[in-house]
């Protein structure tokens, strides 16, 4: 009977794009990133708005009854005025708008890292699923070959009928498992296409995962995360923005000024006095009166509470990053240990055991049940080794997102 051991398969799939190519497409076409880019551009325009003066005001007044004066009748008034914010207010508003834009840029980087990490994990899931399907198909082929042997033995009364039914049940179970796994691929592909900004279509199964390089020690990774993680950097910008908001609230005590010019059109008088018909022009200066102290104190209090909230947010983000890094490193180490356990220790022994039992079965010295158990054990260990590979890369993807190290040399398999 022809037999190919599980775990020694040469997987043959349609050629998949390198992961780095997918990630570049994600950065260019992901709808969430495109929306964030547009918001950053919009905030850039708001910087210009923040530093600009308020619009001047033009006013026209018409006398319902002509006002007679010594130099002639006056029919109304034309005025134009400009409000000028108190000293320092415009500069603070511009600085606040710029700081808010810097915050949005860091939030964009945080979203990019999060989406890239999500895509890497889906890529690993698709790789795991593809390898699982291929291993199960090979196992199904082996079961069918074994069914032929058992059928022949049953025909010659060398094997009981229960052996034949048992192998047929195993075949039915495996066919259902493969069908389920093949259908599971499409939801994963749909999620990947969503991240790429594509219409949902079938993607090729990856044939390998990118290599996982050795990492720095945990303390170095944590320090790098505290320095480079964009979520933390965004929160630092929020702190500075909150400080500017507090300064701006304090400036509410500073009055704003209004400068204006009034022009009064005047007709001629029949008495022809000096300056007859001369149009008066007046210059006006106004000032706001910030007398509502309760309102000003409320604005300052709101700014102070906002600053306190950002401080708590920074502390919470720092703790979350430390916790996530700890969990990701544990999962990375655990997956590596599982890979070594199954790939180096258990799988070679399982293959050797199966070869011995297969020879014994062919020589009628090993039972059919022993053969089925040995095949299932090898299948299980092969799948667990592949699953450990996927888990390791997914944990590595989390570390990349936490430490803000999205560019990995030689990431393409």
DSSP state of 344: I
Work out the mean pLDDT of the chain and round it to a whole number: 86
Cα–Cα distance, 390 to 378 (Å, whole number): 19
Question: How confident is the model at residue 270, as a pLDDT?
Answer: 66
State the chain's maximal CA–CA distance in angstroms: 142
- pLDDT-based confidence at residue 7 (cuts at 50, 70, 90): very low
Question: How confident is the model at residue 360, as a pLDDT?
Answer: 81
CA–chain centroid gap for 250, Å, is: 37
Going from N- to C-terminal start, the domains of the chain cover 19-403
**Domain topology for 19-403:** Outer membrane efflux proteins (OEP) (1.20.1600)
The closest alpha carbon to 413, from 11, 4, 109, belongs to 11
Which has more confidence, 230 or 156? 230
Give me the residues paired with residue 175 across strands. Answer: none
Question: How confident is the model at residue 277, as a pLDDT?
Answer: 67
Question: How confident is the model at residue 330, as a pLDDT?
Answer: 94
Instruction: Dump pLDDT digits (tens) for 100-121.
Output: 999 999 999 999 999 999 999 9
Instruction: Dump pLDDT digits (tens) for 208-224.
Output: 999 988 887 888 889 88
Q: Tokens at residue 197, please?
A: 């900004």
Which has more confidence, 73 or 20? 20
Instruction: Dump pLDDT digits (tens) for 178-198.
Output: 999 889 999 999 999 999 999
- pLDDT-based confidence at residue 13 (cuts at 50, 70, 90): very low
Instruction: Dump pLDDT digits (tens) for 275-309.
Output: 676 788 889 999 989 889 999 999 999 999 999 99
170-173-179 Cα angle (round to 5) = 140
SS3 41: helix
Instruction: Dump pLDDT digits (tens) for 238-260.
Output: 999 999 999 999 988 999 999 99
What's the alpha-carbon Rg for the chain, to the nearest Å?
38
Which has more confidence, 154 or 97? 97
Close Cβ partners of 244 (under 8 Å, ≥ 6 residues apart): 92, 95, 96, 99
Query: What is the number of residues in the chain?
Result: 413
Contact 357, 372 (CB under 8 A): no
Q: How far apart are the two ends of the chain, measured CA to CA in Å?
A: 36
Q: Tokens at residue 5, please?
A: 């051991």
Phi and psi of 409, rounded to 5°? Answer: -60, 140
- pLDDT-based confidence at residue 151 (cuts at 50, 70, 90): confident
Angle at which helices 31-51 and 19-29 cross, to 10°: 40
Q: Tell me the DSSP string of 113-127.
A: HHHHHHHHHHHHHHH
Question: How confident is the model at residue 25, as a pLDDT?
Answer: 93
């Amino acid at each position: 009977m022809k037999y190919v051991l599980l775990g020694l398969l040469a997987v043959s799939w349609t050629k998949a794009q390198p992961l780095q190519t997918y990630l570049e497409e994600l950065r260019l076409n992901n709808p969430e990133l495109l929306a964030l880019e547009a918001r950053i551009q919009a905030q850039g325009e708001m910087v210009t708005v923040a530093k600009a003066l308020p619009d001047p005001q033009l006013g026209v007044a018409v006398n319902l009854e002509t006002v007679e004066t010594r130099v002639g009748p006056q029919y109304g008034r034309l005025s134009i005025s400009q409000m000028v914010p108190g000293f320092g207010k415009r500069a603070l508003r511009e600085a606040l708008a710029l700081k808010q834009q810097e915050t949005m840029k860091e939030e964009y980087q945080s979203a990019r890292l999060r989406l890239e990490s999500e895509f890497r994990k889906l890529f690993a899931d698709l790789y795991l699923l593809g390898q699982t399907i291929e291993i199960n198909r090979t196992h199904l082929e082996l079961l069918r070959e074994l069914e032929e042997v058992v059928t022949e033995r049953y025909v010659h009364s060398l094997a009981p009928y229960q052996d034949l039914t048992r192998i047929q049940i195993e075949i039915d179970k495996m066919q259902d498992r493969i069908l389920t796994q093949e259908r599971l691929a499409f939801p994963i592909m749909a999620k990947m296409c969503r991240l790429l900004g594509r219409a949902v279509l079938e993607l090729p199964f990856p044939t390998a995962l990118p290599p996982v390089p050795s990492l720095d020690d945990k303390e170095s990774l944590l320090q790098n995360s505290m320095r480079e993680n964009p979520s933390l950097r965004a929160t630092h910008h929020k702190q500075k923005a909150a400080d500017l908001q507090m300064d701006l609230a304090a400036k509410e005590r500073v009055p704003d000024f209004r400068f204006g010019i009034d022009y009064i059109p005047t007709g001629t008088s029949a008495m022809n006095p000096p300056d007859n018909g001369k149009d008066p022009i007046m210059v006006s200066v106004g000032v706001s009166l910030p007398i509502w102290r309760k309102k000003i104190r409320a604005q300052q209090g709101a700014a102070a509470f906002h600053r306190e909230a950002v401080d708590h947010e920074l502390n919470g983000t720092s703790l979350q990053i430390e916790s996530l890094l700890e969990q990701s490193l544990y999962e990375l180490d655990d997956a590596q240990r599982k890979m070594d356990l199954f790939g180096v220790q258990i799988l070679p022994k399982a293959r050797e055991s199966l070869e011995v039992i297969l020879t014994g079965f062919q020589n009628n010295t090993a039972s059919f049940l022993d053969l089925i158990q040995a095949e299932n054990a090898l299948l299980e260990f092969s799948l667990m080794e592949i699953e450990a590979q996927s888990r390791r890369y997914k944990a590595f993807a989390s570390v990349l997102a936490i430490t803000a190290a999205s560019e990995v040399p030689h990431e393409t398999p």
